[in-house]
Amino acid sequence: MNTTHMSRRGFVGTALAGAGAVAVTAALPGRGLAATPAPLPPLDPAALRAAIGDLGHPPSTAAQLRVGGTAGRWYGASGVADIRTRRPVGTRDRIRIGSITKVFVATVVLQLVAEGRVALDAPVRGVLPGLLPARFSPVTVAHLLNHTSGLPDHVGVPEPKTVQEVLRHRFDRWTPREWVATATHGPLKFAPGTRQEYRGINYVLAALIIDEVTGRPYGEAVAARVLGPPGLARTTVPGDDPRVRGRHVHGYLAEADGRLRDVTVYDQSSCRGEGDMISTTEDLDRMLVALFSGELLPPELLEPMFTLPPEEVRMLDGSPARYSTGLQRATVNGVALWGKTGETYGYKNAVFSTRDQRRRFVLAHHPTAVRGDEESRVAVRVADLLTRDPSTGRRPV
């Protein structure tokens, strides 16, 4: 759990798995394209508009959806970017992308692996001397990237549960090493590589590895290596700046009386490298294209992003592992989707694609609850519409 962020349970989590109207299978070990790709439905603009236009379920201030790929393209938006001015959401408005940051970080680490500057099987303690205790010696770079490290829970950090608590901690400032220190108490939760538990701390450490290997802040490496080649001009790593610069969608939280509090300005230091980046739906779609097309990584290092841990490696709740190196997998209505979810207060996002890029989507919406499973319902509706066979007659939840 992060001090400034909600639990990052995306649409592949229990909220979607329990949605009876959507056929969702557990994520099984992925090793490339399926022999016979599942058929995709034609796009239904009216249904897609309705899916993102329902800002009451859950309560939200805005939503936008960008669909791409060879099977059809569509863009739509609803709500307002700023409740004060009532300005509508624009196609190039910046948003906080939360844990989608991890895709960028994993890509840079894999590039460094390709250059021989770090190894996936290298112990983290060897790459970052003096940061982790000796009992964490078995943890490798690969364990961080696919969330099989077994690092302990954070100790001594606030976990806001109300709007007032969120606002009280919005400007808490942490150095990366201070944040890592809160997750080094006690033993490893499990032997590295034997279980999977999604943890942001893994990517805080991955960003520190980029710092160490390149000799500059991870954000500079991301900008030079990932943002530049595909031309992601509106994507930034904010560093110590708590603001979202330029034209952007504001994030809000609703108090008990319904009053909305603007939480756009927020210190992101506790999630450096795992959830602090800013982008647009347009840039995120371009990122997916560049990554999945092999423009950013050689084939042998792109493959780990589409490979889940062995079948015997399970999540802590016993369900199948669903995170690869930098990505996650969901199978919805028989269609395998690879991508990432990300959220922070006032922002909830999902970027997914079939591996062959027949269908991609980038969803950004802005729920006003501090936390709650209902927030995944928009992603449920969208994923269902983009994958279900229209002949079944199923409707989105």
Spans of all domains in the chain: 14-392
Structure tokens, 182: 């809160």
- CA dist 320 and 29 (Å) reads 9
What is the reported pLDDT for 61?
98
Q: Examine the pLDDT at 254 and tell me if it is beyond 70.
A: yes
Grade residue 33 by pLDDT with cuts at 50, 70 and 90: very low
3-class DSSP state of 218: helix
Structure tokens at 356: 């062959």
137-159 confidence digits (pLDDT tens): 999 999 999 999 999 999 999 99
Please count the other Cβ atoms lying within 10 Å of the Cβ belonging to residue 297.
20
Residue 387 has pLDDT above 90, yes or no: yes
Q: Distance between CA atoms of 326 and 309, rounded to whole angstroms? A: 12
pLDDT at 314: 98
Contacts 24+ apart (CB under 8 A), 260-264: 260/61, 260/83, 260/368, 261/163, 261/167, 263/166, 263/167, 263/170, 263/345, 263/346, 264/96, 264/346
What pLDDT, in 10s, does the model give residues 338-372? 999 999 999 999 999 999 999 999 999 999 999 76
Q: How far apart are CA 168 and CA 119, in angstroms?
A: 41
Q: Which residues contact 239 (CB under 8 A, 6 or more apart)?
A: 217, 219
Tell me the helices (H) and strands (E) count for the chain, helix number first.
12, 14
Is residue 193's pLDDT more than 80? Answer: yes
pLDDT value of position 366: 97
What's the CA gap between 373 and 59, in Å, rounded? Answer: 12
Asked if the model's pLDDT at residue 19 lies above 80, the reply is no
Dist. CA 65–CA 351, nearest whole Å: 10
Confidence class for position 39, pLDDT limits 50, 70, 90: confident
- Read off the pLDDT of residues 87-137 as tens digits, 9 standing for 90 and up: 999 999 999 999 999 999 999 999 999 999 999 999 999 999 999 999 999
Which CATH architecture fits 14-392?
Answer: 3-Layer(aba) Sandwich (3.40)
CA–CA dist 384, 397 (Å, integer): 9
pTM: predicted TM-score of the whole model, two decimal places: 0.93
Q: What is the pLDDT of residue 22?
A: 44
Return the exposure string of 73-87: e unless at least 16 CB atoms fall within 10 Å of the residue's CB, then b.
Answer: eebbbbbbbbeeeee
Mean pLDDT for the stretch of residues 229-257:
97
Q: Could you tell me if 252 and 366 are in contact, meaning their C-beta atoms sit under 8 angstroms apart?
A: yes
In this predicted structure, what is the pLDDT of residue 12?
Answer: 56
How does the average pLDDT of the chain come out, rounded?
91
392: confidence class by pLDDT, cuts 50, 70, 90: low
Sign of the C-alpha dihedral computed for residues 290, 201, 214 and 279 taken in this order: positive
